[in-house]
């Protein structure tokens, strides 16, 4: 494999590597005659991210395949921490080109960075991990529901949520979308400010929903996608079926594409199934995706009036009672005179 990325495209590659680094600690490189792919998976196997760079993205793209091999793909795996430091800063202003070299059965991937000034060529040899191919088994457009909007629209939606929010619940109907940072029917959290945002179908570039559904997933990959899309002025697509099946966040360009596959929960079904137990570990097998998700989930106490329960006693008041508890204990103990003996006078008179 011998690929050359021109200086004007290095910014795209750099932002892609930094986006993938927010998901996983290992990165898979797979090359065939048409494209070069970078893939990563988070530790809990709930998020998978994959970027594809077509031949037109490179100024030179040379892939030599072994004719006797059944699999016409070159595969290798790197530690993300060894690759990420090379893509910090504004490299597109410094580099004339970047060359990626890899020989089959080699233990290293070689990155050659040619700087614009002083004729400097920096050579980085990155040691590979054990060879392994990651099989995803799902296509980005496999869902029946499709939303497509500008990165500005999604960024405005994200700004309505707090930085401390970890999950988002979407209620999707054929004419609108409702985004919440809570699940309807779950026990209210006194420390959480409830947020609900309603968007009409007309605010999206494309709003194609066949079945109404509720879907819950993590906010972290969505934040990563929005940040990446805004930096390159790309639109964002959401492809899904229903809660409990994979959801895909995707961005496309004529020369490259990147998508995030995220495992989801069905808030209605999973809340009802967990009411009978005080603590239930929910195990979700994502359909058509080699990802197993184990999500610890505490059963909520359903309040039909949807009112906040009485706030628990603050830790400070408990500490005050503990520190000053002896102040409430009796300090005078009445003596038992009957139990004492009468003694005579000490004087002789």
DSSP annotation string for 101-133: E--TT-SEEEEEEEESSTT-EEEEEEE--S---
CA dist., res. 217 & res. 238, Å (int) = 12
pLDDT digits (tens, 9 = 90+) for 138-186: 777 778 899 999 999 999 999 999 888 899 999 998 889 999 988 877 7
**Token pair recorded at residue 24:** 């996983």
For residue range 47-106, list pLDDT tens digits in order. 999 999 999 999 999 988 766 555 668 888 999 999 999 998 888 888 999 999 998 888
What would the mean pLDDT of 212-226 be, rounded to a whole number?
93
The pLDDT-based confidence of 328 (bands split at 50, 70, 90) is: very low
Task: Supply φ then ψ for residue 165, to 5 degrees.
Answer: -70, 130
Which domains are present in the chain?
2-127 (3.70.10.10), 145-298 (3.70.10.10)
The predicted model gives 108-118 an average pLDDT of 91
* Predicted pLDDT at 294: 30
Mean predicted lDDT score pLDDT of the chain:
78
């Amino acid at each position: 494999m011998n690929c050359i990325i021109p200086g004007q495209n290095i910014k795209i590659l750099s932002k892609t590597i930094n986006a993938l680094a927010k998901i996983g600690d290992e990165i898979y490189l797979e090359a065939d005659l048409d494209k070069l792919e970078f893939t990563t998976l988070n530790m809990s196997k709930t998020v998978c991210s994959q970027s594809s760079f077509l031949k037109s993205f490179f100024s030179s793209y040379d892939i030599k395949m072994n004719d006797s091999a059944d699999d016409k793909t070159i595969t290798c795996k790197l530690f993300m921490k060894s690759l990420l430091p090379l893509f910090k800063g504004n490299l597109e202003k410094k580099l004339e080109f970047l060359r990626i070299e890899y020989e089959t059965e080699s233990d290293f991937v070689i990155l050659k960075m040619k700087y614009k000034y002083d004729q400097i060529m920096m050579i980085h040899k990155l040691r590979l991990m054990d060879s392994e191919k990651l099989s995803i088994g799902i296509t980005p457009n496999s869902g029946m529901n499709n939303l497509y909007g500008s990165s500005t629209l999604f960024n405005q939606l994200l700004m309505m949520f707090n930085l401390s929010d970890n999950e988002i619940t979407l209620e999707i109907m054929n004419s609108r979308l409702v985004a919440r940072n809570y699940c309807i029917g779950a026990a209210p959290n006194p420390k959480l400010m409830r947020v609900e945002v309603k968007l009409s179908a007309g605010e999206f570039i494309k709003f194609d929903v066949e079945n109404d559904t509720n879907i819950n997933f993590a906010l972290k990959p969505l934040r990563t996608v929005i940040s990446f899309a805004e930096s390159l002025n790309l639109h964002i697509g959401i492809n899904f079926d229903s809660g409990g099946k994979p959801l895909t966040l995707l961005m496309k360009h004529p020369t490259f594409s990147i998508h995030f596959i995220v495992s989801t929960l069905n808030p209605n079904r999973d809340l009802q199934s967990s009411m009978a137990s005080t603590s239930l570990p929910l195990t979700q097998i994502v359909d058509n995706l080699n990802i197993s998700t184990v999500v610890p989930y505490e059963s909520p106490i359903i309040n039909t009036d949807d009112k906040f329960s009485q706030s628990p006693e603050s830790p400070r008041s408990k500490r005050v009672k503990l520190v000053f508890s002896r102040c409430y204990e009796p300090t005078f103990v009445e003596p038992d005179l009957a139990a004492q003996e009468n003694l005579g006078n000490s004087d002789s008179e």
